[in-house]
Amino acid sequence: MESLYVIDHGLHIKRRSERLVIKKAGRVLEEIPVHGLQRVVVFGRNQFTTDVLRLFAANGVDVAFLSEHGRFSYRLVPQNSKNVYLRLAQNGKYREEAFRVQLGRLLVGAKIHNQRALLVRYRRQRDAEEVHHAVEALQAAMKAVEEAQEMDRIRGIEGHAAKIYFAALSSLLKHGFTFSGRRYHPSPDPVNAMLSFGYTLVTNEITGLMEAHGFDVHLGFFHGLRYGRASLATDLLEEFRAPVVDRLILYLINKRVVEADQFRTDKPGDCRMNEKALRTFLNNYERFVTSAFVQPATKEKTHYRALFRLQVCRLERTLLKEAAYEPYLFY
């Protein structure tokens, strides 16, 4: 087992040798070996003994704590990488405006390319005028990004492209699911609730990889600086929003894997998944990021979790060896 999601509440997790013993109300629910475990995501309120936390640290297990509704709270970082040279290079490159603009063009260009590629895939299944229009408009946006010389211009193109893309994405949804555009904190509808949750999961994975390599995850090149935000991880998230999270949500909705009655609104304008929807989402997310496929550009077999790692390595190589960054392109 590589990933452990702790969804139940009121659990007590203790250590027995090299295994986790999960108990609730004094009853043992499960024992899980730590060997091979790479990440733990904890929802809501649960108790971990200090022996368990030491075991995670000794084995380099990445641990993230989320609210019961899936919003990121904090992370347990076993040990900062000793790669001080990478952090020096990152800080140096951040001060080079030309580099930030160049990387911003690549990241946003890849994001829009991947959004367009997803729409093209679904256009074959459902003939919708809005999708045709969006595909053409996103092609023009990609060209505009290539020609942009300032970060504000790149961000403006990205925002305009996002509005076009999400309008087209909404037209592809079936079974009564709709949304009027990207909204979050809070999410007003089931689609936005799943988008936010999926982006949180991918960002968490990329953050863990970056911390292991020695990056300063808060120093982003495209997203810049904001207190408490893992801006660099959000930079790399852009390449994976459409092919991983958005595609997963289209599958869950259109194949009726999730239903509208699996969401609740505790407060006006604040939509959340119930426990059944949460478990369904996590099971399918794991399948999506670990299922092997052949990458068209290289003809090699891979999976998205490996691609998360590859892109982190590519960014490290860009900073340390002055190599051109290669973004992930979805086809």
**pLDDT tens, N- to C-terminus, the chain (331 residues):** 889 999 998 999 999 999 999 999 999 999 999 999 999 999 989 999 999 999 999 888 999 999 888 888 888 876 667 789 999 999 999 999 999 999 999 999 999 999 999 999 988 777 678 899 999 999 999 999 999 999 999 999 999 999 999 999 999 999 999 888 899 889 999 999 999 999 999 999 999 999 999 999 999 999 998 888 999 999 999 999 999 999 999 999 999 999 999 999 988 889 999 999 999 999 999 999 999 999 888 889 999 999 999 999 999 999 998 899 999 999 9
Rama region for 214: left / alpha / beta (φ>0; ψ in -120 to 50; rest)? left
Known binder of ligand: residue 96? no
| Residue 326 is assigned to a structural domain of this protein | no
Q: Which amino acid type is present at position 17?
A: S
| Residue 331 is assigned to a structural domain of this protein | no
Residues 181, 136 share a domain: yes
Residues 46, 185 share a domain: no
pLDDT of residue 6: 94
Total domains, the chain: 2
Residues 219, 98 share a domain: yes
Known binder of ligand: residue 113? no
Residues 148, 13 share a domain: no
Q: Reduced to 3 states, what is the DSSP secondary structure of residue 40? A: strand
| Residue 30 is assigned to a structural domain of this protein | yes
| Residue 136 is assigned to a structural domain of this protein | yes
CATH number at residue 166: 1.20.120.920
Burial call 296-329: b when 16+ CB within 10 Å, e when fewer: eeeeeeeebbebbebbbebbbebbeeeeebebbe
DSSP string, 157-194: HHHHHHHHHHHHHHHT--TT---SS---SS--SHHHHH
Residues 106, 35 share a domain: no
Q: Which of 114, 208, 193, 203 is nearest to 161 (CA)?
A: 114
pLDDT of residue 299: 87
Residues 197, 142 share a domain: yes
Residues 72, 90 share a domain: no
Residues 311, 236 share a domain: yes
Known binder of ligand: residue 130? no
| Residue 181 is assigned to a structural domain of this protein | yes
Residues 143, 72 share a domain: no
- Cα–Cα distance measured from residue 110 to residue 266, given in angstroms and rounded to the nearest whole number: 37
Residues 297, 263 share a domain: yes
Last residue of a domain, one of 48, 76, 104: 76
pLDDT of residue 80: 61
Residues 171, 142 share a domain: yes
| Residue 328 is assigned to a structural domain of this protein | no
**Contacts of 251 by beta carbon, 8 Å cutoff, 6+ apart:** 257, 284
pLDDT of residue 76: 86
Last residue of a domain, one of 76, 109, 134: 76
Q: What are phi and psi of 40, to 5 degrees?
A: -130, 130
Last residue of a domain, one of 19, 53, 76: 76
| Encoded tokens for 71 | 């919003």
- Cα–Cα distance measured from residue 266 to residue 186, given in angstroms and rounded to the nearest whole number: 11
| Residue 210 is assigned to a structural domain of this protein | yes
Range of the domain at 160: 86-321
Residues 109, 52 share a domain: no
CATH number at residue 21: 3.100.10.20
Within 10 A of 158 (CB to CB), how many other CB atoms are there? 20
Give 221: exposed, middle or buried? Use CB within 10 Å, 0-12, 13-18, 19+: buried
Within 10 A of 276 (CB to CB), how many other CB atoms are there? 12
